[in-house]
Amino acid sequence: MVITYLEAIRAAQAAALRDDKRVFIYGQDVGVFGGAFKATKNLAQEFPGRVIDSPISEDAMIGMAVGAAVSGMRPILEVQFADFSTLALNQIVNQAATHYWRTGVPCPITVRLPSGGTSGSGPFHSQSMEALYAHYPGLVVMAPATVQDAYEMLLAAVAIDDPVIYCEHKYLYYHLKADDLFTEPPVPVGKARIARAGRDLSIVTYSAMVHEALAVADELAKEKIEIEVVDLRTVKPLDTDSIVASVSRTGRLLCVGEAFPWGGVTAEVVARVASEGFNLLDAPPMRLNAKDTPVPYHPNLWAAHRPTARSIADAARRLLRM
């Protein structure tokens, strides 16, 4: 059996619908059509009345999910592209995220955000928005990098009593395949995973960039350089302990993200390691992000805009020389 990252997302939703009556799915074109990316393919047919097409109303989509969740349901929302969640931001950060803290009543919604760049998608269908959501209190922000995590973390998201922003990477949808849904022992939500062990340098990253980092580790292994790759899995909470532990083994930190360079995950990781693991560092921590422009359309520009195995390898080599 071969299962893709996208199929895992579909399978997790099918399992959630099957096992929990409180679950329903709401989003544009998620019904009989099966969603823009087919992440809900056949689910409307299999679970009649529980997979519902919404109007093009991102604000109302999330608002409705909040009301349903507060009244006992477990909605899964699909925003057609993460980029359109700017229009739902208010309901996410001010309504859903504050609800439990203000009222004591939990608001268990899962917001699926098809995230990240793919060639030719341009400024408005490529964004990685985890930093916005992680900044606000009251949200759990996931960014699965593997097929197994795509599955298990989505089920966890539905089970968690808090609003979860589930950032699924569009590039991985079809590109990432596994032989099985379960190949590794499950890791609890909130814990990072050592995707590859090494002792010369830690690359801390998440989502699609985990695979770029693994490619770099492969390449540098030929030069006898051992890269440890830490897959964050959730960017909030951020598993500082595992990150610092990795840096304590390697003494060198390169933090890589596909998002815009100001702030965000890489800043938070580097700042925490600098504060909490200062004496473990044998060299200055380093960051690698996308460039500080919108995500470009043309593949030439796109490839230069975001980190790639090549630019990560360059950065790693530079850091190893420090």
Partner 1 sequence: MAPVDAVIAIEKVSVKAFRLMLLARMLDDKFASLYRMGKIHGGVFLGRGQEALSVASGLSLRPGDLFAPLIRDTAGRLAFGEDLVDAVRTYLGSGLGPMRGRDGNVHRGEPRKGVYAMISHLGAMISVINGGLMAHRFTGKTGSVGLASMGDGATSTGAFHEGLNQAAVERLPLVLVVANNCYAYSTPNDRQFACKTLLARAAGYGVEGVEFDGTDLEESLDKVNGAVQRARAGGGPQLVIANLLRLCGHGEHDDASYVDADLKSSAVGRDCLKVAEDQLRQEGLLTPETLTQWREEAARDIENVVAQVQREPGPDPYQEDWSALATKSLVETQWPS
Applying CB under 6 A, which residues contact ligand TPP?
Answer: 28, 56, 58, 80, 84, 87
DSSP string for 106-164 = ----EEEEEES--TT--TTS----HHHHHHSTT-EEE---SHHHHHHHHHHHHHSSS-E
DSSP letters for 208-266: THHHHHHHHHHHHHTTT--EEEEE-SEEES--HHHHHHHHHHHS-EEEE-SS-SSSHHH
Report if residue 101 touches partner 1, rule: CB under 8 A.
yes
Site for partner 1 in 194-223 (CB under 8 A): none
Contact status: 251 vs partner 1 (CB under 8 A)? no
Quote the CA–CA distance of 303 and 132 in Å, as a whole number. 24
Smallest separation, CB 35 to ligand TPP (Å):
11
- Which of 135/175 has CB closer to its own copies? 135
x/- letters, 269..288, toward its own copies (CB under 8 A): -xx-xxxx-xx-x-xxxxx-
Which of 1, 55, 185, 222 contacts partner 1 by CB under 8 A? 55
Residues in Cβ contact with 213 at an 8 Å cutoff, skipping those fewer than 6 apart: 195, 203, 205, 227, 229, 256, 309, 312
Type of residue at 197:
A
Which residue's CB is nearer to its own copies, number 189 or number 273? 273
| 139 within 8 A of 162, measured Cβ to Cβ | yes
d(CA 10, CA 105): 29
Beta bridge partners of 169: 115
Structure tokens belonging to residue 181? 């849904």
298 contributes a contact to partner 1 by CB under 8 A: yes
| Cα–Cα nearest to 293, from 254, 257, 259, 264 | 259
Our finding on whether 60 is near partner 1 (CB under 8 A) is yes
Single residue of 4, 11, 15, 100 touching partner 1 by CB under 8 A: 100
Residue placing its CB nearer to partner 1 in the complex, 190 or 251? 190
Q: Which does 128 bind (CB under 5 to 8 A by kind): partner 1, ligand TPP, its own copies, none?
A: none
Q: What is the DSSP letter of 92?
A: I
Active site residue 125: yes
Number of residues that bind partner 1 (CB under 8 A): 94
8 A C-beta contact, residue 317 and residue 288: no
- Nearer to its own copies by Cβ, of 186 and 284: the residue is 284
Select from its own copies, ligand TPP, partner 1, none the partner in contact with residue 132, using the beta carbon and a kind-dependent cut-off of 5 to 8 Å. its own copies
Among 122, 106, 110, smallest CA distance to 155 is for 110
Minimum CB separation of residue 277 from its own copies in Å reads 8
Q: How many residues bind its own copies (CB under 8 A)?
A: 49
Per partner kind, with CB cut-offs from 5 to 8 A, the member of its own copies, ligand TPP, partner 1, none near residue 105 is partner 1
135 binds, among partner 1, its own copies, ligand TPP, none (CB under 5 to 8 A by kind): its own copies
Determine if 317 is a binding residue for its own copies (CB under 8 A).
no
Q: Is 63 in the site for its own copies (CB under 8 A)?
A: no
Active site residues: 125
